[in-house]
Amino acid sequence: MRYFPVFVDTQHTRALLVGAGEVGARKLELLLKTQARITVVAPYVCPTVMKLVSNNDITLKQREFEDADIADNNLIFVATDKPEVNQHVHDLAVAQDKLVNVVDNTPLCKFITPSIVDRSPIIIAMSSGGVAPVLLRYLRQKLESVIPAQVSRLGTFSERFRDKVKHTLKSVTERRYFWEDVLDGDIAEDVIQQRDELAAEKLLELLAQYQSDKPVQGQVYLVGAGPGDPDLLTFRALRLMQKADVVVYDRLVSPDILELVRRDAEKIYVGKAKSRHTLPQQDINELLVSEALKGNRVVRLKGGDPFVFGRGGEEIQTLLKHQIGFEVVPGITAATGAASYAGIPLTHRDFAQSVVFATGHLKDDSIDLNWQALAQPNQTCVFYMGLTGLGIICQQLIKHGLPADTPIALVESATMVQQKVITGTLNTIESIATEHDIKPPTLTIVGGVVSLHNQLNWFQTCSENDV
């Protein structure tokens, strides 16, 4: 992040605008939305700027820029059509450690002005660092269309009661839960509909309930993060991630998804890799209990779906034992995500009328499965965590009746830009996987449906290998 976003308090800011053409007029209109004291210096003043000056408290110096003009100003905009003047003002400001912006010349900017969605006191600012202004304008239009103008009333209403809530509820967690209840419920709707007094009555009633009730009871949410692509998160998953006090996440949760977690939430990594556990499962279970008992809203973020080889059942059993409230938020399973992005339908009338999910290793690290049930014709088998035991899986399936030339696919980093798909047969895939250095997380798909990969492979134009 080259440009760090900050909001400057303009109440005591003195702003200087050098240049008063139409480009300068746009910056002046922006500055007039602030509380800054504004000075404009320019030998030529366009009609738009002249009108703004006449209708507002602006100091106009209609002459050439002089070095002394920047002395009392701490926010400087330069918008002339003379490159030598722009450069000179920039150099002068930098030498005096002042914030300077030369319009449409990013290299001469110590700061850049963002694209703004103004719902004062709520302000949303966005920037592309000057590299994609059209994209930024597009995103701003999207936000303008979905954020109601009346949201500004919510900001003013919240400010009205902020101190009272802070003095009544001593816990930061309690205050956050309280305001979330206000903003998620009918109180916010009353404010938007300009029923402020009714909203105030309801807020005070809710505040009294919070004050009289027992301490906030923590809650645990087992949330499926999906196979990796953040666009595949459910709306509910994203909403809870934004509300979490603590997020307990595993190795299969992608960095892009973690970026969507509430910024000030505590993030605890409990990932498991092959033959190496950061935290044993029982300790993870107890961690969820411990954080919930502190009154925290805990999100247990799991790759895929919590109930498909995610050990969600084991964690819930511990929560029940300690009477901790919980919810389960399903996610797109790794199997369905990998199959979809690899162009391999798990069922197909010509190839597979059933699909079976199996784990590549059991609790004791063995691969003692019901091979007879897995080695059935017209069936798709998906193995989770099966890369280490790939050779054993292939041998056992052949031993129990599947032809050695049965198609098989390995999908590494499913749904991500680095996704890799290799295909082969039961008797060739192990050597192909070694050749292409396939690594976890990888899912294994076995069955006739794999033969459709070349035809239906929409996500990647070509795979690593097709045999």
If the chain, 467 residues long, is cut into consecutive pieces of 10 residues, what is the mean pLDDT of each piece?
87 95 94 95 95 95 95 94 95 95 91 88 87 87 82 91 93 87 86 91 92 75 94 91 92 92 92 66 94 91 93 94 93 95 95 93 70 95 91 95 96 93 96 93 95 91 46
CA angle (140, 144, 149) in 5-degree steps: 150
CATH code at 151-212? 1.10.8
- 219-332: CATH architecture: 3-Layer(aba) Sandwich (3.40)
| pLDDT (0 to 100) of residue 466 | 46
Strand 219-224 relative to strand 297-302, pairing:
parallel
Helix 151-168 / helix 172-184 crossing angle, nearest 10 deg: 150
Instruction: Classify domain 335-456 at the CATH class level.
Output: alpha beta
- Nearest Cα neighbor of 301 from 360, 359, 230, 355 is 230
CATH top-level class of 14-113: alpha beta
Q: What single-letter amino acid sits at 145?
A: S
Tokens of 365: 């690290």
CB-facing half-sphere around the CA of 287: CA atoms within 13 A: 19
Give catalytic status of residue 267 as yes or no. no
The pLDDT score that the predictor gives to residue 366 is 66
Are residues 7 and 68 in contact, defined by beta-carbon separation less than 8 angstroms?
no
CA atoms within 13 Å, Cβ hemisphere of 95: 9
Element (H, E) at 224: strand 219-224
Look at residue 227 in the predicted model and tell me its pLDDT: 93
pLDDT score of 461 = 46
**Which residue in the block uniquely carries the two structure tokens 């819930």?**
316
Please tell me the distance from the alpha carbon of residue 216 to that of residue 311, in angstroms, as a whole number: 27
Selecting among 245, 250, 302, 420, the annotated active-site residue is 250
Residue 115: which of 183, 234, 30, 176 has the closest Cα? 30
- pLDDT of 88 reads 96
The one catalytic residue in 110, 202, 267, 272 is 272
Residue 17, strand partner residues? 40, 77
d(CA 157, CA 189): 12
d(CA 225, CA 330): 8
| Residue boundaries of the structural domains of the chain | 14-113, 151-212, 219-332, 335-456
- For this structure, is 272 an active site residue? yes
- Predicted TM-score (pTM) of this structure: 0.71
